[in-house]
Structure 1
């Protein structure tokens, strides 16, 4: 496998065989960039580089890679980037051999890779790849020098705390209630504003083409006049208004329009065909072909390269909206594509600026697909639609699978063939899911439970606990500030939309915030192993309502009866008394809240 993937293995550069999915790629691994400059001795640098080369070669030749039959150069480049990040981290701590990575160092590295480096505390979705890298370093320890001596499996308890198993999943399908309006809006946008944008871009291209032999000042004045003329057109003004760019400079409105229109086309293609992102990016402008069926009806297909099966050629059937989106993308940058001799269907744009003939027209990067889609999804004219914080191309692929199977489960075999999977169980397990209806029912029931808990807190005349003070701005002192059921339901919906987490239990509610968690919970919620009435009552997330008064009263009575028992050890008495004092404190808070509510009602 190594000789098939690495065409030339020099001392400082490895030249890789480019995959058919990357028509413009010239992949090279530069080993001189593995280590930071001016770090370590010549021997240390050479020894660590030698060890890293041996590991990467063993990784390419490992049995699981050979079973694929082919190995993309992009996969090897990803492996090299992960390895380089680990090596740079080691060198900064004066660790020059993998054998020096002890348990503490390994966990420290994984801990840094589990959250964002900007201090926001946001968990990284791709951090788990470094756990996989550690396992490979252990599995291949006999194939490279100064190998790892610690088995990552011995640290799985600590690793699971950093990368909870619940977070180790791929991108999920977009809910149908969100995906269908998004797809309808994309088709609508292309029909209503596509022609306006295309005409504006054509005028701009003609303007730029006439700038030969004139001064920069003259070009600037001509552009200003042209953009004023664009803004004066009613169709352009309507498009800018829908983008929320009414009153903005026409240049910025045009740039936003290009981003959103490309995003609309991408949404149509990804949600209605189910491409892998790389399959779509590698597609050329002549990908559309027309065939006639036996009945004489036109049948359109898209030619491209499959991401699996060694990058062999394949086709996808294209429906009407897909045909319109492809034809629009072809004509959108036809001048720039012709001038640069570029065949790519999707053209990248430097700084988001519209492409003009004469500029370097390059194939778009896969990293630009998601932001384009999200730009359209969160456009101003969609303010009344469900909002999306993240929109990944693979989510669209999984959503397409849900579209197909939800309507006809007999189509699973055809869907597996369409996706290029070797067996329909792969499609069913990884893309569709075993029971979509059950998952939807569970999500709906969880939301109802969350809404019921928030309603109890916000409508209760008595709330106690350390989080009660923070909730007063929502609940006031009773229901005086939340008059009417509609107002309360609206507030609960808003809180749920903001992502509030509520963990109910027999003794109260946890309005969860990881930063304030006394049980040392994580991003997924409270730590169930550390939760208890004593821990919760001392936590800043804790809230009690009158609903829980019976639990605390019974607890106080049981502890009081227990303390009446004769012959108890002093330590036991001290511990139970301390627990009883905490129980009385909670009851006093509830009683004080009841008295306050009663006096306020009498004054009203």
Structure 2
């Protein structure tokens, strides 16, 4: 007779005691096979435990996952179906290693066993193509073992001794800030190139491509109606040649393949524009259905604002996700309109409502696009439109990079918008926002903090190597940075930047006309933790000890000088005095940074 926990449902179709789990995970973009998990793993050839003991470990692992779902450790959320599947994927190799070690019970895991397990893990090749398994992956395994220990009072078999008594799971895995890594944002050159191309496809060529695809499908139907398959291709070619349409590169859309490929790339361009200009997660974008654009009035202005309507899955208990709305600029509304028209035939044939659909080439079934598929297609679009290389090789785009890049562009221009960004990103913890975090959860906090550190490191590196800088802080830096300049100072400069980032909370804040090496005690704008945008202005910053101006800012000061000079001939004496003072400020700055246009 099965115990009560084994009979508990893990989904409408499976129980915790089953040998195979069919999980209820409905996150958009997920493959169907990722919702199954089989416990029927064979015993390793080098096993030193019996088949009975092996079955006991599998049963104990299921019991542990049951406890994480129904009775998690204090302060932890119940494990979702997705988390259960991920934890099961970790427990299966742990059980295999235990069999090889001769450990027949989880209770036999102690600190020495964990140390041997870590050594074994680091010798395993990485499936991602790396020489060894990453510290982040080792951390995940150790977290599973630590959670077994935390749940010991609720389980029949669990570690009885703290497996990591003297260090955290991160320390034991070697998961430091240096080794952690992160999903990168897209470099500016590549981000601008791919977004510009995607916009061009949508705004200038979207109608043409949709028209070509409609002509192709209509002509194909006419050809198939004749009963001769070859007639379909003939009708398509004739109809497209008569239409005399061209793709974005100027090539004629005069055949079925050319029209279909253009339509495929247009779908990719639509995804890139939505991801790049809204910053939604891939699961949220792929969940979009017909009618995804909704217009709502902005107060009593008489103006309507467009919103993307999709489903949020992260942190949501409902497997179907929760309907949410994201502010959508005009190009995004245009992209969604094109997607609705392009997907109409597939939706009609399948009865589905999603905007991202594809015909499975193996079975001919129309199915939603997956995370993996759209990631591959983004890179295919980048190759097709000729996005420039980064450091001599093609940049490998991933879906989450667009979300990080969106946040980066917002954060680098105006840090006061970060709370709005947190709301736009649908992050969960409002209380954390109220306590002053940058964003509304650690995901956004780390994302923005990573960008701030990267921006500070790049700026520091340039400033320390500069021979001419403007602003009061700039003058001080130039007077003292001789040892950091040139090739001889490269390593010294890198070491110093690393020291500043690790050992201090110094951050350099950008604006159009310079950098603020922020220090509260000398701040003229009145900022406490960072520059106060309300009190910040060129004249204020020039009198501030925190200000640095480099050659890249020269265009701002030239433009400011010219605008003031243009007003001077018609100005009264009092206004002329103010204008001349502003012009003088500009000329002094341009002289400091060695701008060729500094003096007329």
- What is the SS of the residue equivalent to 1:344? coil
> Cα deviations across residues 329-357 of structure 1 (Å, max 9, x unaligned)?
11112011112110112114435x9xxxx
- In structure 2, relative to structure 1, the CA distance for the partners of 1:89 and 1:263 (3 Å cut) is farther
Contact kept in structure 2, 1:18 and 1:26, CA below 8 Å: no
Other-structure match for 1:535: none
Other-structure match for 1:174: 186
> Cα deviations across residues 24-75 of structure 1 (Å, max 9, x unaligned)?
989965554455699986523421221111121122245468754x654222
- In structure 2, relative to structure 1, the CA distance for the partners of 1:27 and 1:433 (3 Å cut) is closer
- In structure 2, relative to structure 1, the CA distance for the partners of 1:174 and 1:147 (3 Å cut) is same
Contact kept in structure 1, 2:203 and 2:331, CA below 8 Å: no
Which of 322, 332, 335 is matched with 1:325 structurally? 335
Judge which range, 224-233 or 416-425, deviates more: 224-233
| Structure-2 separation of matches of 1:139 and 1:503 | 48
CA RMSD of aligned residues (A): 4.8
Judge which range, 360-369 or 221-230, deviates more: 221-230
Other-structure match for 2:233: 223
Are 2:126 and 1:115 equivalent residues in the alignment? yes
- What is the SS of the residue equivalent to 2:357? coil
Structure-to-structure mapping, 1:462-473, within 5 angstroms: none
Other-structure match for 2:83: 75
| Structure-2 separation of matches of 1:103 and 1:67 | 24
Are 2:268 and 1:263 equivalent residues in the alignment? yes
Other-structure match for 2:141: 130
- What is the SS of the residue equivalent to 1:345? coil
- What is the SS of the residue equivalent to 2:295? strand
> Cα deviations across residues 401-423 of structure 1 (Å, max 9, x unaligned)?
23333333332222222223323
Structure-to-structure mapping, 1:359-378, within 5 angstroms: 359-378=364-383
| Structure-2 separation of matches of 1:192 and 1:76 | 46
Are 2:326 and 1:316 equivalent residues in the alignment? yes
| Structure-1 separation of matches of 2:241 and 2:176 | 52
Return the offset for 1:146.
4.3
Other-structure match for 2:158: 147
- The size of the alignment, in residue pairs, is 448
Return the offset for 1:300.
1.8
Return the offset for 1:128.
4.1
With the length of structure 1 as denominator, give the TM-score of the two structures: 0.60
Contact kept in structure 2, 1:114 and 1:163, CA below 8 Å: no
Return the offset for 1:231.
8.6
| Structure-2 separation of matches of 1:138 and 1:252 | 59
Return the offset for 1:88.
4.6
> Cα deviations across residues 225-244 of structure 1 (Å, max 9, x unaligned)?
84698699864465486xxx
Judge which range, 338-347 or 260-269, deviates more: 260-269
Contact kept in structure 2, 1:193 and 1:239, CA below 8 Å: no
Which of 56, 60, 63 is matched with 1:51 structurally? 60
Other-structure match for 1:382: 387
- In structure 2, relative to structure 1, the CA distance for the partners of 1:144 and 1:239 (3 Å cut) is farther
Contact kept in structure 1, 2:195 and 2:273, CA below 8 Å: yes
Return the offset for 1:299.
2.4
Q: Which 5+ residue runs of structure 2 have no aligned equivalent?
A: 468-485, 499-600
- What is the SS of the residue equivalent to 1:9? coil
Are 2:292 and 1:287 equivalent residues in the alignment? yes
- In structure 2, relative to structure 1, the CA distance for the partners of 1:371 and 1:19 (3 Å cut) is closer
Which of 438, 443, 454 is matched with 1:439 structurally? 454
- In structure 2, relative to structure 1, the CA distance for the partners of 1:389 and 1:23 (3 Å cut) is closer
Other-structure match for 1:407: 413
| Structure-2 separation of matches of 1:282 and 1:36 | 40
Structure-to-structure mapping, 1:175-574, within 5 angstroms: 175-210=187-222, 218-219=228-229, 222-223=232-233, 226=236, 235-236=245-246, 239=249, 257-293=262-298, 294-307=300-313, 308-310=315-317, 311-350=321-360, 359-383=364-388, 389-421=395-427, 422=429, 423-424=432-433, 425=437, 427=439, 430-431=443-444, 433-434=448-449, 436=451, 439-446=454-461, 504=491
Return the offset for 1:20.
7.5
With the length of structure 2 as denominator, give the TM-score of the two structures: 0.61
Other-structure match for 1:486: none
- What is the SS of the residue equivalent to 1:367? helix
